[in-house]
A and B are shown apart, each in its own frame.
Chain A
């Protein structure tokens, strides 16, 4: 398993999760967990995904997510999980 974290930050609109999930399904990326919350009036969503069997490469996924975010007016980032794991777990 190769875990990555996708985060979506911005104003809540219809279809954000649907669009992200469609992309992930098309690229054989399995969603392990989804959480969402509101921070300072902004919609924050986090997905933990498995990119172990991804079609295409990680760089493409990250840049596609960024472009998808731009097209629906939110910020979408895709990062490998280790940066969070290392920072917050001993």
Chain B
């Protein structure tokens, strides 16, 4: 039988250390909504989302109340819209109409974000993929809850450099289109390599074509719990350090598994995966950078940071894997800048640079995340940053991503407020050396030799 110390420990994690379930994300296939008429397509999309996810928010709130565990976000991911709209959409404006339909459906179901305004173009782009990508700036400017992602490469296909070039321009256009909100549209746009089909976290969530009709995926969190556990083993050996992280990750993940199974049961929708990510928020004590500090680096970005992060990421997975029947999504430690108070502090005091962040993305999930850069950064430079990250993902057979915000009208030294969970960020310097000739080349970078496993 459960004893009082175990009950006290669990409730301390929830009340004092910010343990929560970060998101319940319902993946919904929109493939059966396809039509050659945009109006009919939009009507079917709306009907299906409301039918499947109408009870999502209430069910999550009920579970949260009964188990006493906060469930922070309720979200929806859908089939990449470039596929769903392929027959109906003849222009970027047609895609924008789908975005607005999705936004309205998201609001009606009470979810805070809906992901899947996406195109998967890792090897080549169809005409409909191109139209969707071109519609992204306007779609993000006209909606509040829609998240967009574009997968530009994979280990099996190489990197689609035409898409990389285009995305540099699209990110700039999105920044311009949403300049009133400090270019906040770019906070809802991510460029990925090796994007998973079952990621519950925004902005990169979409419901892949490998998935069933509807599925429940859950993202757990708990950086504060890990940090707190490590405070009790200061100065101990790596063995003790790693064991402590593993045990803590196990406990965190078990809560996610319970919530996922319960939500799946109550909604009558199959359970997909648990994403074992340490996802920080701007709240004090909910920081991955603080864990790195607790492991022993003075500030995130100091020498030793990449090794500490590699260790953390691996132990989280080792602890979490046994706690869940299915693990997927991104699963690892997130290192967004604006969403993590310790990362913000490290960036502001000069300990953390984009180049160091790039190195850190080699050993964790996911990539360069929520980084504000000067508004006058050229599109080719943004494409160069995307290409670098995609190359890391392609060669290391992992997901990488770029979610950077060129803040129009702001420069190094300024600070940008995105609000809520998106936090705030100092504008970080970008290399002033260009890569135009590299980005101007057409075609794709071939898949690496170790992708040929047959």
Please list the residues of chain A having a beta carbon within 8 angstroms of any beta carbon in chain B: 5, 7, 9, 33, 35-37, 39, 44, 46, 48, 58-59, 62, 77-88
Min CB–CB distance A36 → chain B (angstroms): 7
B251: interface (CB < 8 Å): yes
CB-contacts of B1-25 with A (<8 A): 1-11
Report A-chain residues with C-beta under 8 Å of the C-beta of B9: 88
Report the Cα distance A78→B7, complex, angstroms.
11
Listed A/B pairs (18) with beta-carbon separation below 8 Å: A5-B2, A7-B7, A33-B1, A35-B4, A36-B4, A37-B4, A44-B8, A46-B4, A46-B7, A46-B8, A48-B1, A59-B62, A59-B65, A79-B66, A79-B68, A81-B2, A87-B255, A88-B251
In the complex, the answer to whether A86 meets B257 with C-beta atoms within 8 Å is yes
Contact A77 B11 (CB under 8 A): yes
By the criterion CB–CB under 8 Å, are B2 and A88 in contact? yes
Of A35, A77, A82, which contacts B258 at CB under 8 A?
Answer: A82
A17 to B68, CA, bound (A): 21
Indicate if B318 sits at the interface (CB-CB under 8 A).
Answer: no
**What is the minimal beta-carbon distance from A75 to any residue of chain B, in angstroms?**
9
Partner of A82, one of B1, B3, B67: B67
How many angstroms between the C-alpha atoms of A87 and B6 in the bound complex?
A: 9
B52 at the interface (CB under 8 A from A): no
Whether B69 is near chain A, meaning CB under 8 Å from some CB there, is: yes
A-B pairs with the 7 shortest C-beta distances? A79-B68, A83-B67, A88-B6, A46-B4, A35-B4, A86-B254, A86-B258
CA distance A60 to B11 in the complex (A): 20
Are B62 and A79 in touch, CB under 8 angstroms?
no
CB of A83 within 8 A of CB of B65, answer: no
CB distance from B155 to the nearest CB of A (A): 34
Residues from chain A with a CB closer than 8 A to the CB of B62 are 59
Interchain nearest-CB distance for B445 vs A (Å): 45
B10–A83 touching, CB < 8 Å: yes
Determine whether the beta carbon of A84 is less than 8 Å from that of B6.
yes
Contact with A along B245-271 (1 / 0, CB 8 A): 000000100110110000000000000
Report yes or no: B6 in contact with A83, Cβ–Cβ below 8 A. no
A39–B8 contact, CB under 8 A? yes
Query: How distant is the Cα of A35 from the Cα of B8 in the complex, in angstroms?
Result: 12
A84 pairs with B2, CB closer than 8 A: yes
For B258, list chain A residues within 8 Å (CB). 82-83, 86
Which residues of A sit under 8 angstroms from B11, Cβ to Cβ? 7, 9, 77
Q: When the two chains form their complex, are residues B10 and A84 in contact, meaning their CB atoms are under 8 A apart?
A: yes
Residues on B with beta carbons closer than 8 Å to the beta carbon of A33: 1
A contact residues around B8 at 8 Å (CB): 7, 39, 44, 46
- Distance in angstroms between the alpha carbons of A88 and B66 in the assembled complex: 18
Chain B nearest CB from A30 CB (Å) reads 15
